[in-house]
Amino acid sequence: MTIATEPSPPGPRFTRHESGDRREHSELSRTARRWVRRGSDATTELTGAARMRPDFLIVGAQRCGTTTMFKALVQHPQVLRPFLRKGIHYFDKRYDRGERWYRGHFPLLATERLASRRQGGLPVLTGESSPYYMFHPLAPQRIAGELPEVKLVVLLRDPVIRAYSAHSHERGRGFEDLEFADAVAAEPERIAGERERLMAEPGSDSLHWQHHAYLTRGQYVEQLRVLEQAVGRDRLCVVDSGRLFSDPRPVVDEVVAFLGLEPGAPIELEQHNARSRSPLPDDLRLRLERHFEPYDEQLASWWGRTPSWRE
């Protein structure tokens, strides 16, 4: 099914891509992609100066539909996708590789000019999606320093469901061996001091901060305030993922308009990276909802709207 990003009847349901089907993501294919990327890194870095800088970044939040949004946007005829990686993770994990390496992942300026001519002289954009950018303590300032005009897209989901989904995701990737309730209980000890260490040691990494901050990542308003301070409110587009999944048309329209793209492009929407999970126990859900309540209230005040999961 396709939808056009212009006024029309209610949008279609998503096609769901269940992550249980692992055939595309076998260990063999992952290994092959790693080798291809290593070779491409060496090649594209040499041409970094002749390539585009990103016009937009999808910076988070993790497990909130960032892949779905990225795959929708790159279908627009005015958007060129990055080379090989949708998420480059430069501003969080690979900043030491340098700006030229980063630009090496984007289309050539010659490709941009050709694409613009094909679109009747309209501007052509490129971007990437790295959902750790929003949460990494150094990424916002790095983004502001290197990309002073870039626009940031943020997707937000019910933080309880986001946390449960993230836990399932990390278990599936081999980064988590605790059950969800135990992982939530262990989170304060796991992440204690990690933010400060990442800031004090810019080249360092943190397993716990990236993979085990299930509740802290869902305290969205804290991260939005940091992003706002770094780049300004007018360069932030905050999307309610609940509305994206229930009625995608106006949400995609909003992002298309924010990026300055022409409306009306046919875009097929598919929900990616969904995982099947057993239901969250009611008592644990209630406890987590209470944890997030003050953060959600502050979010509603900052955002100027009530999040869908609090309606």
> Rounded to the nearest 5°, which phi and psi values hold at 75?
-80, -15
* Per-residue model confidence as pLDDT tens digits over 62-76: 999 999 999 999 999
Instruction: Concatenate the DSSP letters of all residues of 225-285 into one string.
Output: HHHHHHH-GGGEEEEEHHHHHH-HHHHHHHHHHHTTPPTT-EE--EEEEE---PPPPHHHH
Amino acid of residue 183: A
39-56: average pLDDT: 80
Residue 23 predicted with pLDDT over 80 = no
Alpha helix positions (H), the chain: 27-46, 66-73, 99-103, 109-118, 139-146, 159-173, 180-191, 194-200, 207-211, 220-231, 241-246, 248-258, 282-303
Q: What class, spelled out in words, does domain 3-310 have in CATH?
A: alpha beta
Residue 139 predicted with pLDDT over 60 = yes
Residue 106 predicted with pLDDT over 50 = yes
CB atoms within 10 A of CB 309: 18
According to the model, what pLDDT value does residue 22 have?
41
51 DSSP 8-state letter: B
Model confidence band, residue 85 (pLDDT cutoffs 50, 70, 90): confident
126 DSSP 8-state letter: E
Burial of 49 (0-12, 13-18, 19+ CB in 10 A): exposed
Residue 28 predicted with pLDDT over 80 = no
Residue 154 predicted with pLDDT over 50 = yes
Provide the percentage of residues in the chain whose pLDDT is more than 70: 84
143-159: average pLDDT: 98
> Which residues fall within 8 angstroms of residue 76, CB to CB, at 6 or more apart?
5, 256, 261, 265, 267
According to the model, what pLDDT value does residue 49 have?
86
Structure tokens at 277: 């999970």
According to the model, what pLDDT value does residue 272 have?
61
In this predicted structure, which of 1-5, 84-88, 217-221 has the lowest mean pLDDT?
1-5
Arithmetic mean of pLDDT over the chain: 88
According to the model, what pLDDT value does residue 273 have?
57
According to the model, what pLDDT value does residue 4 have?
45
Residue 192 predicted with pLDDT over 50 = yes
Cβ 261 vs Cβ 78: under 8 Å: yes
Q: Which H or E run includes 3?
A: strand 3-4
> Which residues fall within 8 angstroms of residue 23, CB to CB, at 6 or more apart?
none
According to the model, what pLDDT value does residue 48 have?
80
Instruction: Indicate the pTM of the whole model.
Output: 0.87
According to the model, what pLDDT value does residue 34 have?
57
According to the model, what pLDDT value does residue 270 have?
76
Model confidence band, residue 84 (pLDDT cutoffs 50, 70, 90): confident
According to the model, what pLDDT value does residue 19 have?
45
According to the model, what pLDDT value does residue 44 have?
67
According to the model, what pLDDT value does residue 18 have?
43
